[in-house]
């Protein structure tokens, strides 16, 4: 979950560290690694930004501030002061960092997707540049605009029931727009690009095969009732409409602009090609978790109404998506597994992250009433 925004009253919506501009660029310490913001790295970043913005003369950086935006990433906000044709100007920007062995590919993918969507007219933050080689901080990063506003989650906390439903309808409308974006060729390395050539069950069979492999490898036999249910009804998993999926679409990743009060979609960490029902199942769960069970179904119902066609076999895709998620968490609890999300440790799954896990499990158990001892005893 990645969020980057600033409210008009200066409250970013996050627990923020002090601006290191006031302490001469010390070191920003995250929970997991060190990003060294020293005088040399600042000068190198000024050179990089100066080359990208050649019209901005005498460019200087200030106001570094770490925004603690969730479980997957480190985000830094900064300010650049410069001269344009002799007139002083100030811009607020965001640096989004990418750790890990797959960092470069992940950064390239997100940058390409956000750039395409911005130009296509889907409301996402404007991305200005991608830095992979010779990063002053040792990690690839994206430079993007810093938006002024607040999350839809904070808006809904004080909203009436009618207002909540109107915002859910707006969220559903934006999700339909996203799913109508032409995706062919956008993510060339994604396996789903070939799914349309392999029949309507290609995606579901691929997911089920991967799940079966995990069950066998990690001896997770408690998932057998869910797998049997899915495999017995596999024909319901036929896909004929693939789309670009955000994959974490919920009120904390939707921002309301202070400028025009329109929604903007944040955090493209998990973007991929898939069946729209997988995305809708996950989003409906999260809307219900955040604002009450009574708001889970309206997202799906508004989506169906705006789409103009019935959604077939939604329950099947809901079980498929949630079972896949629970199986992933179960494998992460195995000590032999390296968890790909640095902040989600095994201790976190049993501690701070536990509520997120149990929210998914409760809904899955509500649908099929099968127990998973791993999570009953978490």
Summarised one tens digit per residue, pLDDT across range 189-222 is 766 656 777 889 999 999 999 999 999 999 999 9
pLDDT of residue 7: 38
Specify the pTM. Answer: 0.88
**Least trusted range by pLDDT, from 177-181, 182-186, 315-319:** 182-186
Average pLDDT over residues 255-262: 90
Cα dihedral sign, 12-17-20-22: positive
Which is more confidently placed, 23 or 216?
216
Q: Where are the domains of the chain?
A: 20-147, 150-376
How large a percentage of the chain has pLDDT more than 90? 73
Cα dihedral sign, 248-347-76-189: negative
Given a cut of 60, whether residue 23 has pLDDT beyond it is: no
Tokens describing residue 140: 């690839």
Contact 144, 94 (CB under 8 A): yes
pLDDT of residue 260: 87
Let me know if domain 150-376 sits in CATH 3.40.50.2300.
no
Count CB neighbours of 8 within 10 A.
Answer: 9
Given a cut of 70, whether residue 15 has pLDDT beyond it is: no
pLDDT of residue 4: 35
- Rg, the chain, Cα only: 22
Count CB neighbours of 323 within 10 A.
Answer: 25
For domain 20-147, give the fold: Phosphorylase Kinase; domain 1 (3.30.200)
Mean pLDDT score of the chain: 87
**Least trusted range by pLDDT, from 194-208, 279-293, 321-335, 361-375:** 194-208
List, for residues 64-88, the tens digit of each pLDDT value: 888 755 556 788 999 999 999 889 9
Average pLDDT over residues 42-56: 92
The terminus-to-terminus CA distance of the chain in angstroms comes to 23
Which is more confidently placed, 344 or 6?
344
């Amino acid at each position: 979950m990645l969020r980057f925004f600033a409210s008009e009253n200066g409250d970013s919506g996050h627990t923020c560290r002090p601006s290191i501009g006031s302490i001469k660029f010390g070191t920003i310490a995250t929970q997991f690694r060190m990003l060294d913001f020293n005088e040399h790295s600042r000068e190198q970043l000024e050179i990089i930004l100066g080359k990208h913005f050649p019209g901005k003369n005498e460019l200087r950086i200030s106001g570094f501030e770490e925004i603690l935006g969730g479980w997957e990433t480190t985000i830094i906000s900064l300010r650049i002061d410069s001269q344009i044709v002799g007139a002083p100007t100030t811009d607020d920007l965001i640096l989004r960092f990418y750790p890990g062995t797959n960092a470069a590919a992940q950064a390239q993918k997100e940058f390409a997707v956000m750039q395409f969507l911005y130009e296509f007219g889907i409301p996402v933050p404007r991305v200005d540049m991608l830095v992979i080689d010779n990063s002053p901080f040792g990690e690839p990063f994206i430079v993007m605009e810093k938006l002024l506003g607040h999350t839809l989650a904070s808006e809904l906390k004080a909203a009436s029931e009618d207002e909540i439903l109107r915002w859910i309808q707006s969220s559903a409308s934006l999700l339909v727009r996203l799913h109508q974006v032409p995706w062919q060729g956008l993510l060339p390395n994604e396996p789903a690009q070939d799914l349309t050539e392999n029949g309507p069950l290609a995606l579901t069979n691929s997911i089920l095969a991967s799940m079966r492999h995990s069950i066998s490898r990690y001896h997770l036999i408690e998932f057998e009732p869910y797998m049997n249910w899915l495999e017995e009804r596999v024909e319901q998993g036929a896909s004929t409409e693939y789309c670009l999926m955000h994959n974490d679409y919920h009120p904390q990743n939707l921002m309301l602009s202070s400028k025009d009060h329109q929604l903007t979609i944040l955090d493209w960490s998990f973007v991929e090609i898939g069946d729209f029902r997988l995305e809708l199942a996950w989003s409906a769960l999260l809307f219900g978790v955040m604002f009450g069970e009574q708001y889970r179904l309206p997202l799906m119902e508004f989506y169906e109404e705006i789409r103009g066609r019935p959604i077939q076999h939604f329950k099947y895709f809901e079980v498929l998506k949630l079972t896949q998620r629970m199986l992933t968490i179960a494998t992460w609890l195995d000590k032999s597994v390296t968890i790909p999300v640095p902040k989600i440790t095994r201790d976190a799954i049993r501690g701070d992250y536990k509520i997120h896990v149990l929210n998914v499990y409760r809904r899955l158990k509500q649908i099929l009433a099968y127990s998973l001892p791993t999570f009953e005893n978490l």
